[in-house]
Structure 1
Amino acid sequence: MSKVTIRVNGVEVLSRKLETLSEDARKAIGKHVQRSAYALRGAEIKRAPKGRRFYGKVKEQFGHKQLPGALRKSIRAKFTRGKLSAEIGPRRFYAPFVEYGTKASDDPRHRFSTKPQPFVQPAWESQGPKYEDGMVDVINKAVKGAGFK
């Protein structure tokens, strides 16, 4: 059985460049994710429908009155993994009913339905391409800054 030895010159330099790329890229990507998340949050807030005040039966059923703007106020940006990823969206249980609407069943007691009032999807459609283009730019700058071609 023969023994093969492979020697690679410049491994230390390459290793240092990769570490630099990793650290700088994380910071740049984190900043971009944060800026994009807040831009998407703002777009969702702007598009979210503002409800009306409910008293009477709703107050009796839920124990409190529903104030207008609660859905808008519940839209948050939550960052994970060192701000490298984010979750943006409303924190109210009824947000999907507003976004997609409801349909009345055949039961005559359930005669009410709501039309969809999308606000999350249109916000992503307006901000998504900006996020993607910006991410490509950030990664390209990080790669070029680390000395890769």
Structure 2
Amino acid sequence: MQPTQAAIDLVKASEGLRLSSYQDDAGIWTIGWGHTADVIEGMAITEQQALDFLAADLSVAGNAVSALVKVSLTQSQFDALADFVFNEGEGHLRSSTLLRLLNAGQYQAAAAQFKFWNLAAGQVEPGLVTRRAKEAALFLSTPANVSGGVA
């Protein structure tokens, strides 16, 4: 499975496009739609470069989801988790109650865990509250017992 347009749209809506580097709420240098690898102060890119970064970053996130999730997923569930990993990182998914519940087959309980990932620099971030609600909605948008190909 690979992230689809639903994951791309969620990242774009949550991150916004910035063609010049900036520090995010946690002080991390960022550019494009939330790209952080090798970003430095004063960096500038084109929209095409931002699209390329986004595709590569979502591919990495999707690979992490495939490696960590041991139960079947629908495409919507996969896309929601890919957005989560894109934003929070593979390590946070790996150590999360969300993943533990999901791998135990408790899809509804896992979906309820998204809302707890709403902090930036130790403070509740309204943008993350919104993003997590969208991830949970996408995750729940199809029946959890439909096999999607990740096993």
- After TM superposition, the score normalised by the length of structure 1 is 0.28
TM-score computed with the length of structure 2 as normaliser: 0.28
Larger radius of gyration: 1
